[in-house]
Structure 1
């Protein structure tokens, strides 16, 4: 697009939402038109219109919504995007099977990207894992993920996504999880056979990489045709 891409941040009060607001404000190709959170205490965030999740019908025109909220807030922003014919980029986890089906239905009308991890490096890693699994048939495949002590789900969503890539290549992955200190996120995919080992590793040292990846996806997704996209589809 030649003009600024109009974006809505849904889940603006969370850590990812705050990072998205901060980083989007630094980009001249983006126009922040609204920030949405569950409760609104003030009507503006640095001049950006703020809405409660119950006020989505009043949103100004937008090209793409970036959603990092909770499952109970997901249905509303998905419906708003369908009604406005706007794109949706979402990293909300814990969606129900019904919500997954709603995404599939929405993709017949709008472009949607849902991902467990918005690191561009992890998007490349998924591709490399699938290619390695396909080339190294019969090798053992192990995925080891490490995160901070407060992360509850194990294996992580990213590890499971890497496992799906390995399975698509023909491997049968096994998982191990480590929770320690303040590790942002580390993922090791290891292929092993007699006498040799191949290791593919991604280490995240800042949560900003996920916000930057989501903003990158939003700029690439806005204006595209309906469909369900993956982050690797939008790397160029």
Structure 2
């Protein structure tokens, strides 16, 4: 598998390159970054402005992207133009940006996921079963990440919230919500905040170098159930992204997610 990596100078880009260097059958065809950086894991890092040309010249099979929404959309569109598959771990997209990613997936396979940890996939399955078993219990979701994370709640938290809504048969549109948007999701509490029936509390914490932790609390009938996933290293996401890249290579154009691969 010939691999392209964007955001090569960032935390996740470095993890992806490190994982690729240790994996048999993976060749790094190119690595790019928005700002100049020295080589990473022995790979030269080039200017992201040259990505369309590099995709054409180096002919990678798949690109792995963990960056931020604006450049991520451009990278996926460049992949669509070049016929290169794309694995996207970037979160925080607007609806308009997601529309552009979906349009690109009409021309090339695009696998987008908020989280590439197999443990999170298992957590989501457990949450769906638990919520179905205790549908009347109160629900609170808390997520914790490092102090440099841009989007809140995390993309994984939003995915979990969508899972809860789906089980409760109350589908809602994706994206960040506020207390005044008409949904049952309440983001943090302040002052007089009596709990409403069906309300889901959402709490985002940012501190230190926490890789990522998500906890769903279900409470009612004089009992409390908590389901938690904690990532100890970013390497787990890099390995999952490479698994997804290998699975995606050679597939027909279309939109895929991590559950499809699993």
TM range (shorter): 0.7 to 0.9
Q: Name the CA distance, whole Å, in 1 between partners of 2:42 and 2:207.
A: 39
What is the aligned partner in structure 2 of residue 233 from structure 1?
260
Question: RMSD value over aligned CA atoms?
Answer: 2.1
What is the aligned partner in structure 1 of residue 226 from structure 2?
199
What is the aligned partner in structure 2 of residue 74 from structure 1?
72
Q: Name the CA distance, whole Å, in 1 between partners of 2:37 and 2:11.
A: 17
Cα displacement string for residues 118-176 of structure 1 (whole angstroms, at most 9, x for unaligned residues): 22211221222223222322222111222334445433222121111111111753212
TM-score, normalised by the number of residues in structure 1 = 0.87
Q: How do residues 129-208 of structure 1 correspond to structure 2 at under 5 angstroms?
A: 129-170=127-168, 172=198, 173-208=200-235
Q: CA deviation at 1:34?
A: 0.3
SS at 1:124's partner residue? helix
5+ long unaligned stretches in structure 1 = none
1:6 and 2:2 correspond:
yes
Q: CA deviation at 1:100?
A: 0.6
Q: CA deviation at 1:221?
A: 1.3
SS at 2:141's partner residue? strand
TM-score, normalised by the number of residues in structure 2 = 0.79
Q: Name the CA distance, whole Å, in 2 between partners of 1:202 and 1:226.
A: 32
What is the aligned partner in structure 2 of residue 21 from structure 1?
17
Q: Name the CA distance, whole Å, in 1 between partners of 2:21 and 2:95.
A: 35
SS at 2:107's partner residue? coil
Q: Name the CA distance, whole Å, in 2 between partners of 1:98 and 1:177.
A: 24
Q: Name the CA distance, whole Å, in 1 between partners of 2:142 and 2:107.
A: 38
5+ long unaligned stretches in structure 2 = 171-197
